[in-house]
Amino acid sequence: MFQSVITGVGYYVPEHVVKNEDLIQYMDTSDEWIRERTGIEERRYAHRTQETTTTMAVEASKKAIEHAGLTTVDIDFIVFATLSPDYYFPGCGVLLQRALKMKEIGALDVRNQCSGFVYALSVADQFIKSGMYKNILVVGSEKHSFGLDFSTRGRNISVIFGDGAGAAVLQASDSTERGVLSTHLHSNGDEAEILAMYNPGTHANYWKDTPFANFDEAEIGQMFMSHSMIDHAQNFPYMDGQSVFKTAVVKFPEVIMEALNHNHLQPSDINLLIPHQANLRIAQFVQKKLKLRDDQVYNNIQRYGNTTAASIPIALAEAWEQGKIKEGDLVCLAAFGSGFTWGSALIRW
């Protein structure tokens, strides 16, 4: 059996920096509220017309492929995680394949929101371990700024999210010392509606309890997009932040411990934990719970906000660039998000 080794990482964030103060012109909020509740100081927004989820992924991918010492034609599979695709369909994987002028390889889109990159990495890991592919490009990219409610009504969500992309190249290796040790994936749909974007969708009021998706009977039949959906701001994400927070602080430590126990390791063995950058307060809670030192946890949400599927690969590439990950280090990735879905990956770098 092959081992999958991450041989290249790369990230891209748009140039446009949006500070907390900049949001005050659109909504009733404050730098103090945002910093105190989330730790976020600023985020990046993609250019409205010149950049998309895929174009950002292209930039991150080029860096990851170059770092791996490969060219785009060497890649034999793409796994692309995003919740903000360029089109409703087809997915971003094929757009990336086209933009990078790759061979006619398989391109899989993963829809697991904040856990998207960990799910994508796990899929790629299985394909490599089984011997099916040798060089897989795993990408997380998001252009949230295009789909947020910038009025006061949407402030509990819109202040949190930012745009960006991160990528990693996984390669088959004979190494017995390095590589992805294990991945652990979970879901529980009981609370699927508390962090969700219901529209456009086919639910047509089927899930009656959704706080935000009750349409006139007359409109059903043209459900994907309707005037009243837009008039009632039902085309934006919904989040019950406190419930998300409460579940996240349980599931993050649980899934990290699952990975460590599976490999007979302890929290003290972790050289770097990269949690999905949901909220700095969640990451600090997890750090405390696992008794990790500051230098064992990497956070950059202060500068980029929550970039969902892109947050882990951006942080991974940035931490590597800063010399915080060295060969032989034990790196733990952990994510939790909408679904709920959650997961972890333990990597010997």
Least Å from the CB of residue 245 to ligand ACO: 4
Find residue 342's DSSP bridge partners.
186, 336
Asked if 306 is part of the footprint of ligand ACO (rule: CB under 6 A), the reply reads yes
- DSSP assignment of 30-46: -HHHHHHHH---EEE--
Compute the distance between CA of residue 9 and CA of residue 64 in angstroms, rounded to an integer: 4
Stretch that binds ligand ACO, among 33-41, 95-103, 206-214, 320-328 (CB under 6 A): 33-41
Which residue among 20, 67, 112, 114 is the active-site one? 114
Asked if 39 is part of the footprint of ligand ACO (rule: CB under 6 A), the reply reads no
Compute the distance between CA of residue 270 and CA of residue 257 in angstroms, rounded to an integer: 11
Of the candidate residues 140, 162, 179, 337, the single one contacting ligand ACO (CB under 6 A): 337
Of the candidate residues 278, 312, 314, 325, the single one contacting ligand ACO (CB under 6 A): 278
Asked if 244 is part of the footprint of ligand ACO (rule: CB under 6 A), the reply reads yes
Q: Footprint of ligand ACO on residues 48-107 (CB under 6 A)?
A: none
Of the candidate residues 130, 214, 228, 242, the single one contacting ligand ACO (CB under 6 A): 242
Q: Is 264 a catalytic residue?
A: no
Q: What is the pairing mode between strands 106-110 and 135-142? A: unpaired
Of the candidate residues 3, 4, 7, 38, the single one contacting ligand ACO (CB under 6 A): 38
Asked if 241 is part of the footprint of ligand ACO (rule: CB under 6 A), the reply reads yes
In this structure, what DSSP letter does residue 171 have? Answer: E
Nearer to ligand ACO, 195 or 330 (CB): 195
Asked if 307 is part of the footprint of ligand ACO (rule: CB under 6 A), the reply reads no
Strands lying side by side in the sheet with 272-275: 179-187, 341-348, 330-337, 272-275
Q: Is 306 a catalytic residue?
A: yes
Least Å from the CB of residue 106 to ligand ACO: 28
Residue 210, C-beta contacts closer than 8 angstroms, at least 6 positions apart: 193, 196, 198, 203, 238
Residue 35, C-beta contacts closer than 8 angstroms, at least 6 positions apart: 20, 41
Residue with tokens 């005037």: 227
- For the chain, give the number of residues: 349
Q: Do 14 and 305 contact (CB within 8 A), yes or no?
A: no
Stretch that binds ligand ACO, among 45-53, 80-88, 274-282, 285-293 (CB under 6 A): 274-282
Asked if 349 is part of the footprint of ligand ACO (rule: CB under 6 A), the reply reads no
Stretch that binds ligand ACO, among 29-37, 117-125, 179-187, 261-269 (CB under 6 A): 29-37
Of the candidate residues 7, 72, 171, 279, the single one contacting ligand ACO (CB under 6 A): 279
For the four alpha carbons of 325, 38, 187 and 339, in that order, the dihedral sign comes to: negative
Least Å from the CB of residue 44 to ligand ACO: 17
Compute the distance between CA of residue 307 and CA of residue 142 in angstroms, rounded to an integer: 6
| Cα distances (Å, whole numbers) of residue 280 to 98, 276, 328 | 36, 10, 27
Q: Footprint of ligand ACO on residues 150-209 (CB under 6 A)?
A: 155-156, 159-160, 195
Catalytic residues: 114, 276, 306
Which residues are at the interface with ligand ACO (CB under 6 A)?
29, 33-34, 37-38, 114, 155-156, 159-160, 195, 239, 241-242, 244-245, 248, 278-279, 282, 306, 336-337
